[in-house]
Amino acid sequence: MKTLLDFFLFLIILCVSIIIIPVVHSKCIPDQQLSLLHFKKGLVFNASFSSKLISWNSSADCCSWVGVTCKANGCILGLDISNEFISGGIDNSSSLFQLQYLQSLNLAYNKLGNGFQLIPSAIGQLTSLRYLNLSHNYYSGQIPIEISHLTGLKVLDFSYNNFRLPESPLKLESPNLHMLVENLTELRELFLDEVQISAPGSVWCQAISSSLSNLRVLSLSNCSLSGPFHESLAKLQFTLSLIHLDYNNISAPVSPFFANFSNLTSLSLRDCGLHGTFPKEIFQLPSLQSIDLSHNPQLDGSLPEFPKNGSLEYLILEWTNFSGPLPNSIGNLKMLSAIFIHDCNFTGSIPISMTNLSQLIYLEMDGNKFEGSIPSFSRPMNLEVLGLDSNRLTGNINCTHWGNLTKLSSLSLRGNMLNGNIPTSLLSLPSLNFLDLYGNQFFGQFPEISNISSNFVKYLLLGSNNLEGPIPMSIFNFRRLTWLDLSSNNFSGSFPLDDLQQLRNLSDLRLSDNNLFLTHDATNFSYSYFPQFQFLMLASGKLTTFPNFLRNQSKLYRLDLSDN
Ligand SMILES: *[C@@H]1O[C@H](CO)[C@@H](O)[C@H](O)[C@H]1NC(C)=O
Ligand SMILES: *[C@@H]1O[C@H](CO)[C@@H](O)[C@H](O)[C@H]1NC(C)=O
Ligand SMILES: *[C@@H]1O[C@H](CO)[C@@H](O)[C@H](O)[C@H]1NC(C)=O
Ligand SMILES: *[C@@H]1O[C@H](CO)[C@@H](O)[C@H](O)[C@H]1NC(C)=O
Ligand SMILES: *[C@@H]1O[C@H](CO)[C@@H](O)[C@H](O)[C@H]1NC(C)=O
Ligand SMILES: *[C@@H]1O[C@H](CO)[C@@H](O)[C@H](O)[C@H]1NC(C)=O
Ligand SMILES: *[C@@H]1O[C@H](CO)[C@@H](O)[C@H](O)[C@H]1NC(C)=O
Ligand SMILES: *[C@@H]1O[C@H](CO)[C@@H](O)[C@H](O)[C@H]1NC(C)=O
Ligand SMILES: *[C@@H]1O[C@H](CO)[C@@H](O)[C@H](O)[C@H]1NC(C)=O
Ligand SMILES: *[C@@H]1O[C@H](CO)[C@@H](O)[C@H](O)[C@H]1NC(C)=O
Ligand SMILES: *[C@@H]1O[C@H](CO)[C@@H](O)[C@H](O)[C@H]1NC(C)=O
Ligand SMILES: *[C@@H]1O[C@H](CO)[C@@H](O)[C@H](O)[C@H]1NC(C)=O
């Protein structure tokens, strides 16, 4: 008996010892290995989808199993069995809860809750836990009060389950937000996305700020929170670094005190029913890397002058009522990689300084009131998407605009007042997939494209311009074309419909309202292959006989043969 007691004492001393001896091979402690094997045996999972649990077997030391981390002395410190398709097998009696030295437990992306199960309250026994991640597990119902006993927790992630935290609890066992966090004073990161909290600003802001004075990360997206923001949140102004509150109907202005959050790197308030004027000083916070205010159509605002060497990487304001010009100093934000400001009310010209944003990948400014000419975007060599449609842009575009954009895959300039010739060099850009120049005033001929370096172009929309002359036959070399719109121009000459056989993916072809002679071989009744069209617009094409390929179309949704 004495030796057994000694042995346990020895174990405890071993495991709680804070001296970490840097030994490479930690040997698993036998009873912990047994607990793990027992734990595994109880789990419901499919071995064909497992990459971690499958390696847990008694022939290897448990400290070498995938997902298990041990202290140098062999005590199990961490378990990461996320993403293992586990669909059950953790209840109050699970051997998991014997691993009392466990500091880190990640069970994310399984199906432990199966849509109806509760978190076993025995989890409260794991009092050494500092990191607990149960996100994405189909859990539902209440969060057990025992979680509030895990007072050493630094990171808690319960997001994307189906939990509820009642506003005023009926029983002690079903805590509200305040009770859940009141003793978790060590918390640095709290993720409760999609937990139904249903509390007004005064309640949730105070519950968080009165207890969690070390909090850096607050992620409460889609929690049925309401507003307005309560001033108590300003207590966390020196610590909070990430605030994500998307999809809550805050229905209030953004408080000016956020401009005092000196450690803020990421602010996300997408679709929060915000109104009033956004405090522009927030954009000037030197630590800010990402801001998303999108889908708040009643939120007014404008952009301030940006300081030199700002950290901003993501500027996301789409579907807001932001207005006014883009300041020249936007060019100071050298780290910017994504600008989504489409469907706002911005005016003025596109600052030339933006062409210095060498990290840009996405630039979407459609649906504003930008005017003037388009500066040359050949500097941001990683640019993939450039959207400027539905503005009031004028002037021409030429090869100097895009020469080096080898990664550009989507360019949309639809619905402006651009003119001049369309530079064919555009079509030689090696990654271009989508080109939409519809509804401008481009004129002149569209010459043959000699060096088609790639065949990636799938969408080529040039309709409603003033293009003239023959349609270049090299169009048939764009073998991936699925949508070709050349309608409502002044194209002339003949266009051999039979050659469409080469464009096997084409499903939308619009050639109406030109001066074209659409030709085809009226004697050919059997085409080995012809594209299956959904949209086929061939109005005013001077056809005199019915195109036979039309007899074999099964997906046709709209066909226009009028005025032939
Ligand atoms: C595990 O998944 C494979 C592949 O989907 C399936 O064939 C097998 O029946 C599954 N086994 C169990 C026990 O569900
Ligand atoms: C036990 O796991 C190891 C690797 O983790 C593997 O090489 C060995 O084949 C497994 N043994 C059994 C009996 O499954
Ligand atoms: C929880 O685990 C998932 C899967 O490993 C991970 O993506 C997520 O970032 C984790 N959450 C936290 C707060 O670490
Ligand atoms: C776990 O045990 C507690 C009592 O200790 C009980 O109230 C609870 O319902 C049990 N939970 C589960 C999920 O088994
Ligand atoms: C938090 O700790 C205090 C003091 O130990 C205790 O009175 C209170 O009941 C605890 N709260 C919860 C929700 O457990
Ligand atoms: C918000 O959560 C609800 C479930 O509570 C879900 O149906 C909805 O799709 C979520 N909304 C978003 C935008 O994710
Ligand atoms: C600011 O945030 C960083 C990173 O999250 C953290 O290391 C630092 O301690 C925070 N500052 C304060 C005052 O909390
Ligand atoms: C958001 O809250 C406001 C004020 O409570 C309410 O008038 C509005 O209908 C809510 N919007 C949605 C989408 O629920
Ligand atoms: C920001 O902090 C300063 C100094 O602490 C204070 O004077 C000011 O009122 C605060 N601003 C807001 C909007 O809370
Ligand atoms: C832009 O502003 C005008 C009035 O200045 C307003 O009528 C319109 O709704 C605003 N557009 C958007 C997208 O907010
Ligand atoms: C574009 O690339 C060419 C070489 O291919 C180089 O001479 C030119 O300076 C580049 N232009 C810009 C604006 O970087
Ligand atoms: C290209 O277009 C820009 C803007 O419209 C214009 O300033 C420039 O002179 C043009 N370059 C050439 C070579 O036509």
pLDDT in tens, 353-392: 999 899 999 999 999 999 999 998 878 889 999 999 999 9
Q: Look up residue 168 and give its two tokens.
A: 């005023």
180 lines ligand 5 (CB under 6 A): no
For residue 262, CA distances in Å to 32, 235, 307 come to: 45, 12, 15
Q: What is the per-residue pLDDT across 415-430, written as a single tens digit (0 to 9) for each? A: 999 999 998 888 888 8
DSSP string, 272-293: S---EE--GGGGG-TT--EEE-
Which of 186, 239, 289 for mutating ligand 7's site (highest number of atoms within 8 Å of CB)? 239
| Distance in Å, CA 402 to ligand 11 centroid | 10
Ligand nearest to the CA of 238: 7
403 lines ligand 12 (CB under 6 A): no
Q: Which atom of ligand 10 is nearest to the CA of 367?
A: 13
Q: Look up residue 501 and give its two tokens.
A: 């056989």
69 lines ligand 5 (CB under 6 A): no
564 lines ligand 12 (CB under 6 A): no
Nearest-CA residue for ligand 2 atom 12 is 57
| Distance in Å, CA 262 to ligand 7 centroid | 10
Ligand nearest to the CA of 193: 6
Which pLDDT score, from 0 to 100, does residue 24 have? 43
By the 8 A CB rule, do 449 and 428 touch?
A: yes
E-assigned strand segments in 294-361? 296-301, 314-316, 320-324, 338-340, 345-349
Question: By C-alpha distance, which of 175, 170, 225, 168 is closest to 198?
Answer: 225
By the 8 A CB rule, do 186 and 152 touch?
A: yes
Q: Look up residue 69 and give its two tokens.
A: 């981390």
Which pLDDT score, from 0 to 100, does residue 363 have? 96
Which pLDDT score, from 0 to 100, does residue 433 have? 94
The topology under which CATH files domain 197-301 is 3.80.10
Pick the CATH number of 26-182 from 3.80.10.10, 1.20.1440.230, 3.40.47.10, 3.40.50.1100: 3.80.10.10
Task: Tell me which H or E stretch contains 11.
Answer: helix 2-16
How buried is 486 (Cβ within 10 angstroms: 0-12 exposed, 13-18 middle, 19+ buried)? buried
Which pLDDT score, from 0 to 100, does residue 445 have? 93
Instruction: Please say whether the dihedral angle defined by the alpha carbons of residues 242, 247, 248 and 251, taken in this order, is positive or negative.
Output: positive
Which pLDDT score, from 0 to 100, does residue 170 have? 65
Which pLDDT score, from 0 to 100, does residue 385 have? 96
151 lines ligand 1 (CB under 6 A): no
375 lines ligand 11 (CB under 6 A): no
Nearest-CA residue for ligand 6 atom 10 is 222
Which of 222, 224, 249 for mutating ligand 8's site (highest number of atoms within 8 Å of CB)? 249
By the 8 A CB rule, do 305 and 281 touch?
A: no
349 lines ligand 10 (CB under 6 A): no
356 lines ligand 11 (CB under 6 A): no
222 lines ligand 6 (CB under 6 A): yes
Q: Look up residue 262 and give its two tokens.
A: 């000196």
Task: Give Cα 409 to chain centroid, integer Å.
Answer: 18
CA atoms within 13 A on the CB side of 225: 33
The Cα–Cα gap between 199 and 206 comes to 11
48 lines ligand 1 (CB under 6 A): yes
DSSP 196: B
In terms of phi and psi (left: phi > 0; alpha: psi -120 to 50; beta: otherwise), the region of 437 is: alpha
What are the domain boundaries of the chain? 26-182, 197-301
In sequence order, what are the residues at sequence separation of 6 or more whose Cβ sits closer than 8 angstroms to the Cβ of residue 443? 419, 420, 421, 465, 466, 467, 468
Which pLDDT score, from 0 to 100, does residue 21 have? 41
The strand pairing partners of 442, in sequence order, are 420
Q: Look up residue 460 and give its two tokens.
A: 């080529």
The Cα–Cα gap between 439 and 416 comes to 7
Which single residue is written with the structure tokens 């859990």? 139
Given this chain, do its domains 26-182 and 197-301 carry the same CATH topology?
Answer: yes
- Ligand 3 pocket list (CB less than 6 A): 82, 106, 108-109, 133, 135, 155, 157, 189, 191
116 lines ligand 7 (CB under 6 A): no
By the 8 A CB rule, do 429 and 406 touch?
A: yes
Spans in the chain with pLDDT lower than 70: 1-26, 169-170, 451-455
Nearest-CA residue for ligand 7 atom 4 is 241
113 lines ligand 4 (CB under 6 A): no
Which pLDDT score, from 0 to 100, does residue 454 have? 57
Q: Which atom of ligand 10 is nearest to the CA of 320?
A: 14
